[in-house]
Structure 1
Amino acid sequence: MIKIIVFFCLLCGLGKLQAQELNARVTILAPQVSNISKPTVEALQKTIRDFLNNNKFSNESYKPEERIDCSFIITINSWDGGSGYTAEAQIQSSRPVFNSSYNSTLLNMSDKNFDFSYNDGSTIDFSDQNYISNISALLTYYAYTIIGLDKDSFSKSGGTSYFKKAQNIINLAQASGNAGWRAADGLRNRFWFNENTLNPIFGELRIFIYYYHLNGLDQLTDNDKGLKQILGALPALQQMDKQKLGSIFPNVYFATKAEEITNVLSKLNGQERMQAYNMLAEIDPANIGKYEGLKK
């Protein structure tokens, strides 16, 4: 009996050690595709969800409650009747704010080139060392990107190793000919988002993510120290190359966070709100309309 109890304890411990990183919700839509059946869509949806939730993308231990909430909304635009799908996707991830019920969005990215091949009833295999299929590469790339951003929110540039893993997926996938993996495929694609995360030019933005979340939002329930930390982190962003402000990483990040930042910093006094507004207007002119709330 003792041996059985020990055995089950070991199994439980092993399960915790091997707990996966993602808690992914997957929704597949095909509103304009008449030749695709509901069971096919549902089966594909489950296969993608299982890939994201059942594979381990790191050697780290995640408790069930520590898994990263994320969602993939995949819209199929056409299907060739066999294995070929053209699609686009909206990928989101968030992390909880300490001592609150609020989840703060870290990533909200649109991918217009989410095309893939998939045979009904098959599984999607995972490899971080070989290119298996475009759907496997797409999901693995975003898994690493999601984990990298989450790590950045808990430690300064803590996601670097995961952004490098995503970079390796890009390098493996480039020979496939699928769009979005190469620099020449446009300025708003997976290649450039990853390039930006690893480019020292955007190092201050990654450090801001840390200050904003761990030293900012996570401290708001206790006192106004968190507000001061966020305000104090903004000047460093003013040092970013103004010619690079339209790049995909800052563009996606601030489009995701501008409204939230405004709501959070609106708790500052009038003089500090104007100070924050002036800095944000310079740092992120594309979303200046959202920051107008700080002037009230």
Structure 2
Amino acid sequence: MYKLVVLFLFCGLGLSAQELNCSVIINAEQTGQSNLQVFRTLKTELTEFMNNTTWTNLNFKQQERIDCSLVILVSNIDSDSFTASIQVQSSRPVYNSTYSTPIFNFNDKQFSFRYTEFQPLNYNPNTFDSNLISVLAFYAYTIIGLDAGSYELNGGEPYFEEAKQIVNTAQQQVSDGWSAQSGTQSRFRLNQDLLSPNFREFSDVLYAYHRNGLDYMADNPREAKQGIAVSLELFNQMYLNRPNNFLSRVFFDTKADEIAKMFSSGPQVNISNLVSMLNKVAPTKSSSWQQIKL
């Protein structure tokens, strides 16, 4: 089951549609060649690739697509070789509200690719066609997996497995970002940790924070906030198992501002231990935690 809140919408009542509603921004100012036509073509082709590829066998209506964005900062171009970074973001609606909550916010600095204007971009899960296609497909499945996991406990695992297949295929061709030697904040590490039994608490938090917390905020904000506070306590166990782990950083890079705003206004709940725990597990976000009123 997927997206329990809107499950009835996925019963095959309409034609199959793609999963993502992705916007793409190409920033090439650092190259001094930002007016090149190739960047405009690249933006168009990447947008079509992300939004028109069928990533799963689920049926999505247009309004049910996952909102996400890619911001690609190109720092150098040499013929058909591009050096860049890519900021990946996604969000999902909160039940019975007009609010969209951020699910993923990740800056990948290990992103280089070859691209010739108008080259076809097609994803084949069984082959490595280019680093550009592999990176985009990897993030498509990661976005879908995190979105699914926010609706159903461990709901993202099949999509993280798809992303793992991309990792395994890509690392046979290139290493930057795809291998264990790529550092502690790579695509390899992100996927490995999302599937690791050592970080099962992350799946618990992802689900409980959204389904047992935010999705009930409109009905009972006090209980919803208390449920979110309880879910965040699970990061303490992750910290005890591995301090400063990557998934905690990814989560709080995405959620720190939301958490601070949530607990600095509205009905007061018992969070006597929350701030000290947050400062311990996510010390780089201390300026956000200072906003929380005890």
Report the TM-score, using the length of structure 1 for normalisation.
Answer: 0.89
CA distance in 2: counterparts of 1:75 and 1:293, whole angstroms: 32
**Over 4 Å off, 4+ runs:** none
How far does the alpha carbon of each residue in 1:189-213 deviate from its partner, in whole angstroms, 9 at most, with x for none?
1000111101122211221111111
- Equivalent runs, 1:58-77 vs 2, <5 Å: 58-77=56-75
Larger Rg: 1
Q: Are the structure 2 counterparts of residues 117 and 241 from structure 1 closer, same or farther at C-alpha, using a change threshold of 3 Å? A: same
How far does the alpha carbon of each residue in 1:176-228 deviate from its partner, in whole angstroms, 9 at most, with x for none?
12410001011111000111101122211221111111111111111122112
- Equivalent runs, 1:41-52 vs 2, <5 Å: 41-52=39-50
Pairing 1:257–2:255 present:
yes
Query: Is the CA contact (8 Å cut-off) linking 1:274 and 1:295 kept in structure 2?
Result: no
Aligned length: 282
Query: Is the CA contact (8 Å cut-off) linking 1:95 and 1:104 kept in structure 2?
Result: yes
Query: Is the CA contact (8 Å cut-off) linking 2:91 and 2:104 kept in structure 1?
Result: yes
CA distance in 2: counterparts of 1:136 and 1:155, whole angstroms: 28
Indicate which of 168, 191, 212 corresponds to 2:188.
191
Indicate which of 156, 161, 164 corresponds to 2:158.
161
Higher mean displacement: 51-60 or 230-239: 230-239
- Equivalent runs, 1:1-296 vs 2, <5 Å: 16-35=14-33, 37-81=35-79, 83-223=80-220, 224-242=222-240, 244-266=242-264, 267-269=266-268, 272-295=270-293
Query: Is the CA contact (8 Å cut-off) linking 2:27 and 2:34 kept in structure 1?
Result: no
CA distance in 1: counterparts of 2:92 and 2:239, whole angstroms: 28
How far does the alpha carbon of each residue in 1:26-64 deviate from its partner, in whole angstroms, 9 at most, with x for none?
010100223464321111100000000000111111111
Which residue type is aligned with residue 146 of structure 1? I
- Listed as ranges, the gaps of 5+ residues in structure 1 are 1-12
Report the TM-score, using the length of structure 2 for normalisation.
Answer: 0.90
SS at match of 2:30: coil
Percent of residue pairs bearing the same amino acid type: 35
Root mean square deviation, CA, Å: 1.9
